[in-house]
Amino acid sequence: MENYGHFNEEGFFVIDKDIPTPVASLIRKLGNWLVALSINN
């Protein structure tokens, strides 16, 4: 799988490539959701 971005110091996912906006927002939501899960556990 291609690497579309990285996590910044705060743990949020940063998009590095131009990808379709719905996909980007979905990836951001997923990334932030995973961060929230890891904080809560």
Each residue's pLDDT tens digit, 6-36: 888 888 888 777 666 787 788 888 888 888 8
The CA-CA-CA angle for residues 32, 12, 4, to 5°, reads: 95
Q: What is the pLDDT of residue 19?
A: 65
Task: Report how many domains make up the chain.
Answer: 1
Band of residue 2 on the pLDDT scale cut at 50, 70, 90: low
Q: Tell me if residue 25 falls in helix, strand or coil.
A: helix
Take residue 23 and report the two structure tokens written for it. 């996909």
> Which amino acid is it at 12?
F
pLDDT of residue 1: 53
Identify whether the C-beta of residue 12 lies closer than 8 Å to the C-beta of residue 32: yes
Residue 25 is predicted with a pLDDT of 84
> How far is Cα 22 from Cα 12, in angstroms, rounded to an integer?
17
Whether the pTM exceeds 0.85: the reply is: no
| Beta-strand pair 13-15/5-7 | antiparallel
**Domain limits for position 26:** 5-40
Q: What's residue 21's pLDDT?
A: 76
